[in-house]
Amino acid sequence: CPALVSLYEENDKPSSAVEFVQQKLGGPSISDYEKLKAEKLDLQLKYNELLETHKETSRQLEELKNLKIDAPWN
């Protein structure tokens, strides 16, 4: 694997071999990974909130439709 050869040939050995190999293979650094993980969690929470809001709004809309259908003047 070229990444391992690069690590072996490196004069100044990196503090994290795993991070070095990830960078050589084009993956995110550990700090980038942690940032992306935090961003994903934040987006998941926002999505869940929006989904609940959508469900509640849909429920209210159905109630209004039922009121209109049941109204005696229609």
Question: pLDDT tens, position by position, for the chain (74 residues)?
Answer: 676 667 567 777 767 777 777 777 777 777 888 999 999 999 999 999 999 999 999 999 999 998 877 766 65
Q: Are 23 and 29 in contact (CB under 8 A)?
A: yes
73/51 Cα distance (integer angstroms): 35
Q: pTM of the prediction? A: 0.58
Q: Nearest 5°: CA angle at 32, between 30 and 45?
A: 115
Q: Nearest 5°: CA angle at 7, between 36 and 16?
A: 45
